[in-house]
Structure 1
Amino acid sequence: MGTLRVITQIIYILICIALTVLVLKQEGKGDGLSGAITGAASETYWSKNKGRSLEGTMETATKVLAGAFIVLSVVLNLNW
């Protein structure tokens, strides 16, 4: 059981590092102050097709890694 716990902890650390890098590489979601003042529409071609781009892929990867992070956090807190 000790070896399995060490392997799980190593995977957990790698997920933490990957999740941190992905979050820091992503752009902000807000339109910013200038978009709020001018009333710029957020429904653009780019926002509608974002899922097929690198940004969409990074967003999906962030969600998957966050889910794995939560599951591994629970597993590592079990007394086994």
Structure 2
Amino acid sequence: MTTAQIALSVIMIVASLFLIVVVLLQHGAQQGLGAVSGSADTFYGSGKASASDRIFARLTSIVGVVFVIIAIVLNLIH
């Protein structure tokens, strides 16, 4: 293995662990049976995400893209 492959492999491992942690920290859409009857959505609460949910969603997208790019690059240089 070359130095570039080792460095990219380490970055990929760190990115994958970070991606797992970020996904696990996100809040799930747990509306329960209230979603069936329509009582889960209120006038003030529909469609609003907290700041942490937006940050985690953006981090998930960024780290996911980095993960895919590194996987493609590692595949091409192997």
TM range (shorter): 0.7 to 0.9
TM-score by length of 2: 0.80
Once the two structures are superposed, the pairs formed by residues 1-80 of structure 1 within 5 Å of their partners are: 2-29=2-29, 31-41=31-41, 44-45=44-45, 47-48=47-48, 50=49, 53-80=51-78
Unaligned runs of 5+ in 2: none
CA separation of 1:64/1:75 partners in 2, compared to 1, >3 Å: closer, same or farther?
A: same
CA separation of 1:42/1:27 partners in 2, compared to 1, >3 Å: closer, same or farther?
A: farther
Aligned residue pairs, count: 78
Measure, in 2, the Cα distance between the counterparts of 1:42 and 1:19.
32
Cα offset for 1:78? 1.1
Cα offset for 1:4? 1.0
CA separation of 1:30/1:11 partners in 2, compared to 1, >3 Å: closer, same or farther?
A: same
Contact kept? 1:16, 1:69, Cα under 8 Å: yes
Identity %: 26
The structure whose residues are more often helix, as a share, is 1
TM-score by length of 1: 0.78
Residue identity matched to 1:22: V
Q: Output the aligned Cα RMSD.
A: 2.4
